[in-house]
Amino acid sequence: MKKNRWVPRLLVLLVLCGVLNVTLSAAAEAGSSDDPLVTLSYLNETYMDTIMERVDQKIAQRNAQLSGGTSAASVFTVVTLSSGQVLTGDIGCEVMLRVGTATCVSPSSPGLIDETAASTLNNGGALVQNHLYMMTIEGRGVRATADTTKLLVRGSYTIA
């Protein structure tokens, strides 16, 4: 009869060990110090999402730094001139004639650089609508020859 008592005791002990093992396994968090085994689903569903969120945050920070560091000089603004008014731009200032007519104002050659046609425009030369012009030397500008002349301007300038 002693053998018969060992078998049920052994079965009960094995069942208790199995239940304890399942309980501990369920209680341990995947990827924690208690359960260092990392599964592919953890990497794809949890870890990659965390990494992608961090990357998105870094990109947003970098874009904010870049756009925050730019000044109004990097954005085109609409400038309206009356006939005879002269817009004089600093070096690097760009203008595009949108409405009306205008001519180049320059004390020497070259006057304006026509970025669209890859050419130069000298003093008194007429600007072509929708061409982008750049002032590469100080003292260059644009004189309005129509009652209403509208320019897109990017960069620092003065109007006289």
* CATH code (residue 78): 2.60.120.1030
Structural domain boundaries, residue 26: 1-39
Query: Do residue 106 and residue 150 come from a single domain?
Result: yes
Phi, psi (degrees; rounded to nearest 5) at 29? -85, 135
Query: Do residue 16 and residue 90 come from a single domain?
Result: no
Query: Do residue 78 and residue 4 come from a single domain?
Result: no
Residue 95: CB atoms within 10 A of its CB come to 26
Residue 129 lies in a domain: yes
SS3 content of the chain, % helix, strand, coil (to 5): 35, 30, 35
Residue 5: CB atoms within 10 A of its CB come to 9
Phi, psi (degrees; rounded to nearest 5) at 15? -65, -40
What is the pTM (predicted TM-score) of this model? 0.56
Q: In total, how many domains does the chain have?
A: 2
Q: Write out the chain's pLDDT in tens, 160 residues.
A: 455 677 778 788 888 888 877 776 666 555 566 666 777 777 777 778 888 888 888 888 777 776 655 455 578 899 999 999 999 999 999 999 999 999 999 998 889 999 999 999 999 999 999 999 999 999 999 999 999 999 999 988 999 8
